[in-house]
Amino acid sequence: MSSTIALIIIGVAVLFIIGIKLLASPKTARLGNLVAAAGMLVALLTLHQPAGEYVWSQGWTLNYTLIAIGTLIGLVIGAIGAYSVKMTAMPQMVALFNGVGGGAAALVASLEFFKRAHGLEGLTPFFAVTMLFATLIGSLSFSGSAIAYLKLEGKFERPMTFPGQNIFNGLILLVILGLCGYLTINSSASQATTAFGVMFLLALFFGIAMVMPIGGADMPVVISLLNSFTGLAVAADGFTINNLSMIVAGTLVGSSGTLLTLLMCKAMNRPVTNVLFGAFGSSGGGGKAGASDLGGKTVKPIQADEAALLLGYAQQVVIVPGYGMAVAQAQHQVRELSDELGKRGVEVRFAIHPVAGRMPGHMNVLLAEANVPYDQLCEMEAINPTMDRVDVCLVIGANDVVNPAAREDKSSPIYGMPIIEADRAKTVIVMKRSMAAGFAGIENLLFYKDNTRMLFGDAKASLQTLITQLKAS
Partner 1 sequence: MDTNILFIFILSIFIGFEVVSKVPSMLHTPLMSGTNAIHGIILFGGILVLADAATPLARTLGFVAVIFGSANVFGGFMVTDRMLQMFKKKKK
Point out the residues that are catalytic. Answer: 400
Write the DSSP symbol of residue 218.
G
431 neighbors 397 (Cβ within 8 angstroms): yes
Residue 239 is a binding residue for partner 1 (CB under 8 A): yes
User: Among residues 127, 406, 120, which one has the least CA distance to residue 242?
Assistant: 127
Rounded CA-CA distance 245/251 in Å is: 10
Q: Which of 246, 276, 337, 341 binds partner 1 (CB under 8 A)?
A: 246
- Write the binding mask 6 to 25 for partner 1: x where contact by CB under 8 A, - elsewhere: -------x--xx-xxx-xxx
Closest to partner 1 by CB, 233 vs 430, is 233
Closest to partner 1 by CB, 242 vs 473, is 242
Restricting to residues 102-141, name those near partner 1 by CB under 8 A.
103-105, 107-108, 110-112, 114-115, 126
Stretch of 179-187, 226-234, 284-292, 410-418 contacting partner 1, by CB under 8 A: 226-234
- Write the binding mask 411 to 430 for partner 1: x where contact by CB under 8 A, - elsewhere: --------------------
Q: How far is the CB of 256 from partner 1 (least distance, A)?
A: 4
Stretch of 26-34, 306-314, 412-420, 454-462 contacting partner 1, by CB under 8 A: 26-34
Restricting to residues 266-325, name those near partner 1 by CB under 8 A.
267
User: Among residues 315, 297, 260, 289, which one has the least CA distance to residue 426?
Assistant: 315
Q: How far is the CB of 247 from partner 1 (least distance, A)?
A: 6
Closest to partner 1 by CB, 139 vs 444, is 139
Restricting to residues 60-99, name those near partner 1 by CB under 8 A.
62-64, 66-67, 69-75, 77-79, 81-83, 85, 87, 90-91, 93-94, 97-98
Q: How far is the CB of 380 from partner 1 (least distance, A)?
A: 9
Three-class SS state of 37:
helix
Q: How far is the CB of 155 from partner 1 (least distance, A)?
A: 21
Rounded CA-CA distance 35/53 in Å is: 26
Q: How far is the CB of 128 from partner 1 (least distance, A)?
A: 13
34-43 contact pairs (CB < 8 A, 24+): 39/11, 39/12, 39/13, 39/14, 39/15, 40/12, 42/8, 42/11, 42/12, 42/15, 43/8, 43/9, 43/12, 43/245
Q: How far is the CB of 109 from partner 1 (least distance, A)?
A: 8
Residue 100 is a binding residue for partner 1 (CB under 8 A): yes
Restricting to residues 137-156, name those near partner 1 by CB under 8 A.
none
Rounded CA-CA distance 232/243 in Å is: 14
Closest to partner 1 by CB, 273 vs 371, is 371
Q: Please return the burial class of 262, using the count of CB atoms within 10 Å of its CB with bins 0-12, 13-18 and 19+.
A: middle
Q: How many CB atoms lie within 10 A of CB 160?
A: 18
Q: Please return the burial class of 386, using the count of CB atoms within 10 Å of its CB with bins 0-12, 13-18 and 19+.
A: middle
Q: Please return the burial class of 215, using the count of CB atoms within 10 Å of its CB with bins 0-12, 13-18 and 19+.
A: buried
Taking each helix axis as running N to C, give the angle between helix 362-369 and helix 90-117, from 0 to 180 degrees, rounded to the nearest 10.
Answer: 130
Closest to partner 1 by CB, 26 vs 170, is 26
Residue 208 is a binding residue for partner 1 (CB under 8 A): no
Rounded CA-CA distance 450/167 in Å is: 45
Q: For residue 390, which amino acid is it?
A: V
Secondary-structure breakdown of the chain: helix, strand, coil percentages, each rounded to the nearest 5: 65, 5, 25
Residues near partner 1 (CB under 8 A), total: 112
Closest to partner 1 by CB, 112 vs 340, is 112
Q: Which of 230, 412, 462, 469 binds partner 1 (CB under 8 A)?
A: 230
Closest to partner 1 by CB, 368 vs 437, is 368
Q: Which of 212, 247, 308, 348 binds partner 1 (CB under 8 A)?
A: 247
Q: For residue 126, which amino acid is it?
A: F
DSSP output for 256-272:
HHHHHHHHHHHHTT--H
Q: How far is the CB of 473 from partner 1 (least distance, A)?
A: 24
Stretch of 183-191, 251-259, 296-304, 306-314 contacting partner 1, by CB under 8 A: 251-259
Q: How far is the CB of 129 from partner 1 (least distance, A)?
A: 11
Rounded CA-CA distance 181/253 in Å is: 27
Restricting to residues 325-384, name those near partner 1 by CB under 8 A.
352, 354, 359-362, 364-365, 368-369, 371-374, 377, 379
Rounded CA-CA distance 12/421 in Å is: 45
